[in-house]
Amino acid sequence: MLLFEHLSRREREILDILYQRGQASAAEVRAILTDPPTYSGVRAMLRVLEEKGHIKHENQGLKYVYSPVINRDKAKRSAVKHLMETFFSGAPEQVVAALLDVSSKRLTSAELDRMSEMIEQARKEGK
């Protein structure tokens, strides 16, 4: 099961903010949201995300500070898996080809060398 199935666009936007920042209060989340709802609306969405098990909170003085439950690396793997299954028929080579097509002009020689090393390491581990 993918970690972030069944989330609304707004819930995903809030999770994105929390992953980018590591943690944030409701007021900080609201300040970053595009076309934000009321403060009470943001608090309600944070409560729903917490009930769904995606985030947790801790008390810092008089405010709650929210952070993701799933660590960033696991979330990245889940997001890439979802992307690969949804748009690339589960084929990793198609994902890499698309990434190279989109960013080939921006990749440095060092970045391409690092990617080659990663592919070679994957070959060794696969044998």
Instruction: Indicate the pTM of the whole model.
Output: 0.70
CB environment 73-112: b (16+ within 10 A), e (fewer): eebeebeeeeeeeeeeeeeeeeeeeeeeeeeeeeeeeeee
CATH of domain 9-68: 1.10.10.10
pLDDT of 53-85, one tens digit each? 999 999 999 999 999 999 888 888 888 888 899
Per-residue pLDDT tens, the chain, 127 aa: give them: 345 667 899 999 999 999 999 999 999 999 999 999 999 999 999 999 999 999 999 999 999 999 999 988 888 888 888 889 999 998 988 988 888 888 777 888 898 899 899 999 989 988 6
Query: Which tokens belong to 31?
Result: 């300040």
Long-range contacts, 64-69 (Cβ 8 Å, 24+): 64/25, 64/26, 65/23, 65/24, 65/25, 66/18, 66/23, 66/24, 66/25, 66/26, 66/29, 67/18, 67/22, 67/23, 67/24, 68/15, 68/18, 68/19
Which sequence spans correspond to the domains of the chain? Answer: 9-68, 88-126
